[in-house]
Chains A and B, each alone.
Chain A
Amino acid sequence: MDAILGQVHEVVAWAFALANEYDVSSLIEAGVFFLFAGLALLFACGVIFLRNVVHSALSLTATFICVACLYLSIGADFMGAVQILVYGGAVAVLIVMAIMLTRRDDMAHSNPSRGLLQHVAAAVVAGLFLLGMAAVAVLSPFQSAPLPLGDAAPGLADLMLTHYVLPFEVAAVLLLIAMIGAIVLAKGADER
C-alpha cells in the first residue's frame, strides 16, 4: 500500500516538476496541436473506414476543418481561411454532389473496399512509406527558428502580385480551364 502510495506520490511530484519546468503557453500549444492533429487523423481514418460514403464525405470535411485549425494554430490565418473555404466548402460540396450524381441503391454500403490481400499490400506500402517519411522527418536536423513575419494576408498579396504574378495568372487560367473541362466532361462534348 505504501509502495503504491509512494509511486503515486512520485508521479504527482513528477507532474508538478513538469508543470514547473514548462511554460503554460507551450503546453497549451501542445494541447491544441495534439487535439486537432488527433481529430484530423481520426476523421481521416473515418474517411477510409466508414461504410457509408456520405459519412465519409462528412468525415473528410471534418478533417479539413481540423487541418484548418492547425493552420490557425501556427499563425497561418489566411491559409486557414482558404482551407475552410475551399476544402471545407467547395470541395466538400463538390464531393457530396458527386456522391449524389453517382448514387447507388444501398447507401449503407456505398463505400466498399477491396479484399484482404489488397489491404495487406496497401498497409505494407503505406506503412513503409510512413516509416520512410517519419525517418526523414525525425532524422532531419531542422531547427525551429521562426522569423517574425508580418500579417499573412498583406504579405501573400505582395508576393502574389509581384514576384509570383505569372504563376498566379497561370493558376487562374488553370482554374478556368479546369472549369470548362469539367463542364465539357460532365455535359458530354458529343451531345451538343
Chain B
Amino acid sequence: MMNIMEFMQLATHVGLHHFLLFSAILFAIGLFGLLTKKGLIPILMCVELMLNAVNINLVAFNHYMPVPDYSGQLMAIFSVAVAASEIAVGVALAFRIYRDYGTVNVDELKEMKG
C-alpha cells in the first residue's frame, strides 16, 4: 500500500496537479450535464461550467509553470470574452427557439435529422 503519509504529503502540497484534476472533474460534470439535460438553458449552463474548467487550467498553468509573463491569464481573459459572446448569442438563440417552437427541450428539436 502506498504510504498514507506520502499520499497526504502529496495531497496537502497544493500544486498544478490539483488544479488539473479539479478542472478535469469540473469539466466531466459539465459534460455529464451537457449530455443528460433536456432544457436548452441548463445545457448552456453546463457549457459554461466546461469553459470555466478550461479557464482554470489556463490560470493554473500560468501560475505554476515557469513562464515569464501573464499570457496564460490573458488567454483566459480572451476565453472569457468568447464565452460571454457565446452565452449572449446562446441565450438569444434559446429565446428565439422558444418563441418559434414553443419549447426549449432539445429532444423536441430535431430539425437536423438526416
Say which residue of B22, B59, B87 sits within 8 Å of A76 (CB atoms). B59
Is A146 engaged at the interface, CB distance under 8 Å to the other chain?
yes
A45 touches B29 (CB 8 A): yes
Query: How far apart are A82's CB and chain B's nearest CB, in angstroms?
Result: 6
Residues of A within 8 A of B45 (CB): 47, 56-57, 60, 95
B70 touches A149 (CB 8 A): yes
Say which residue of A79, A137, A182 sits within 8 Å of B73 (CB atoms). A79
Bound-state Cα–Cα, A1 to B9, Å: 31
B24 touches A134 (CB 8 A): yes
Residues of B within 8 A of A144 (CB): 15-16, 64
Residues of B1-46 at the interface with A, using a CB-CB cut-off of 8 Å, are 5, 8-9, 11-22, 24-42, 44-46
Main DSSP-derived SS at the B contact region:
helix
Bound-state Cα–Cα, A125 to B28, Å: 9
Bound-state Cα–Cα, A185 to B98, Å: 12
How many A-B pairs fall under 8 Å by CB?
253
Is A108 engaged at the interface, CB distance under 8 Å to the other chain?
no
Main DSSP-derived SS at the A contact region:
helix
Residues of B within 8 A of A133 (CB): 20, 24, 27-28
Bound-state Cα–Cα, A74 to B62, Å: 10
Query: How far apart are A53's CB and chain B's nearest CB, in angstroms?
Result: 6
Give a binary string over A59-87; 1 marks a CB under 8 Å from any B CB, 0 the rest: 01001100100110011101100110011
Is A138 engaged at the interface, CB distance under 8 Å to the other chain?
yes
Residues of A within 8 A of B12 (CB): 22, 26-27, 30
Q: A94-B91, A144-B15, A174-B82 are in contact. Are A138 and B21 (CB under 8 A)?
A: yes
Say which residue of B35, B64, B69, B82 sits within 8 Å of A122 (CB atoms). B35
Say which residue of A18, A111, A125, A156 sits within 8 Å of B31 (CB atoms). A125
Query: How far apart are B48's CB and chain A's nearest CB, in angstroms?
Result: 6
Say which residue of A70, A112, A177 sits within 8 Å of B39 (CB atoms). A112
Query: How far apart are B58's CB and chain A's nearest CB, in angstroms?
Result: 9
B64 touches A95 (CB 8 A): no
Residues of B51-66 at the interface with A, using a CB-CB cut-off of 8 Å, are 52, 55-56, 59-60, 62-66
Say which residue of A29, A64, A71 sits within 8 Å of B14 (CB atoms). A29
Query: How far apart are B37's CB and chain A's nearest CB, in angstroms?
Result: 6
B41 touches A102 (CB 8 A): yes
Give a binary string over B61-80; 1 marks a CB under 8 Å from any A CB, 0 the rest: 01111111111011011101
Residue of B28, B44, B46 most packed against chain A (CB within 10 A): B28
Residues of B within 8 A of A188 (CB): 96, 99
